[in-house]
Structure 1
Amino acid sequence: MELTRRSILCGGTVAGLAALVAPGGARAQAQAMRPLTGAELVAAANLGGEVGYIVADARSGLVLEAMNADHAMAPASTAKTITTLYALETLGSSYRFTTRLLATGPVSGGVLRGDLILAGGADPTLETDGLAELAAQLVRAGVRGVTGKFYTWGGAIPYAAEIAADQPVHVGYNPSISGLILNYNRVHFRWKRGQGGYALAMEAWSEKYQPAAYTIDATLTNRKAPLFDYRQAGGKEHWTVASGGLNKAGSLWLPVRLPEAYAGDVFQSLARAQGCVLPAPEPLRSLPGGARELAARRSVDLPVILRSMLKYSTNITAEAVGMTATAARGVNAARGASGAAMSAWLSGKLGGAKARFVDHSGLGAEDRISPLEMVRAVTLLGPKAGLRGLMKPFGLRDAAGRTVTVPGLRVDAKTGTLNFVSTLTGFITAPDGTELTFAIFTGDLARRARAQGGQPEGSKAWIGRSKILQSQLITRWATLYG
Structure 2
Amino acid sequence: MTYRQSGTAPVGRGSKFIFFAVRLLFCISISTVFILPQGAVKAAVPPGATVAKLVVKGGFILTRDKTIIAELNPTALFIPASTWKLATAAMALHLLGDNYRFETRFFADNKGRLFIQGRGAPMLISEEITAMLPKLRRTLSMPVKTIIIDSSAFHLNGPTDGSDQSLNPYDAGLNATAVNFNTVHLRIDRDGVSSAEPQTPNLGIMTQAAGHLPPGEYRLPLTAAQAGRYVGQLFAALSGWQGVKIKMGLVPAGLRPVFIHYSRRPLREIIQAMLLYSNNFIADQIFLTCGARLFGWPATWAKGRRALNIFLRQQVRLPKGSYEVEEGSGLSRRNRITPRAMLTLLRYFRPYAHLLPEHKGGRVKSGTLTGVYNYAGYLLTAGQTDPFVIMLNQPRNNRDAILNRLLRLHKKRAARKSAPP
Equivalences for residues 77-476 of structure 1 within 5 A? 77-105=82-110, 113-141=111-139, 143=141, 145-146=143-144, 149-159=146-156, 162-167=159-164, 169-192=166-189, 198-201=190-193, 203=195, 206=197, 208-218=198-208, 239-241=211-213, 246=214, 250-257=216-223, 258-271=226-239, 273=240, 276-277=241-242, 279-285=244-250, 288-294=253-259, 296-330=261-295, 333-335=299-301, 337-349=303-315, 350=317, 352-354=319-321, 355-379=323-347, 381-383=348-350, 386-395=351-360, 410-430=361-381, 432-444=382-394, 462-463=396-397, 465-476=398-409
Aligned-pair CA distance for 1:295? 5.5
The residue that corresponds to 2:59 in the other structure is: 52
Question: Does the alignment pair 1:41 with 2:6?
Answer: no
Residues 134 and 295 (structure 1), Cα distance of their counterparts in 2 relative to 1, 3 Å cut: farther
Residues 16 and 367 (structure 1), Cα distance of their counterparts in 2 relative to 1, 3 Å cut: closer
Aligned-pair CA distance for 1:472? 1.8
- Whichever residue aligns with residue 200 of structure 1, its letter is G
Partners of 1:472 and 1:163 in 2: CA distance: 36
Aligned-pair CA distance for 1:267? 1.2
Aligned-pair CA distance for 1:88? 0.4
Q: CA RMSD in A?
A: 3.1
Partners of 1:348 and 1:376 in 2: CA distance: 13
Normalised TM-score (structure 2): 0.81
Aligned-pair CA distance for 1:417? 1.2
Q: Deviations over 1:1-20 (max 9, x none)?
A: xxxxxxxxxxxxxx995354
The residue that corresponds to 1:459 in the other structure is: none
Aligned-pair CA distance for 1:479? 1.8
Partners of 1:30 and 1:300 in 2: CA distance: 61
CA contact (8 A) 1:159 1:179 kept: no
Residues 291 and 374 (structure 1), Cα distance of their counterparts in 2 relative to 1, 3 Å cut: same
Partners of 1:169 and 1:357 in 2: CA distance: 23
Give secondary structure in 1 for the equivalent of 2:203. Answer: coil
Structure 2 spans left out of the alignment, 5+ residues: 10-38, 416-421
Residues 480 and 114 (structure 1), Cα distance of their counterparts in 2 relative to 1, 3 Å cut: same
CA contact (8 A) 1:427 1:438 kept: yes
CA contact (8 A) 2:375 2:399 kept: no
More helix by share: 2
Normalised TM-score (structure 1): 0.71
Give secondary structure in 1 for the equivalent of 2:328. Answer: coil
| Number of residue pairs aligned between Structure 1 and Structure 2 | 381
Partners of 1:295 and 1:82 in 2: CA distance: 29
- Whichever residue aligns with residue 116 of structure 1, its letter is L
The residue that corresponds to 1:4 in the other structure is: none
CA contact (8 A) 1:104 1:292 kept: no
Aligned-pair CA distance for 1:327? 0.7
Report percent identity of matched pairs.
21
CA contact (8 A) 1:141 1:294 kept: yes
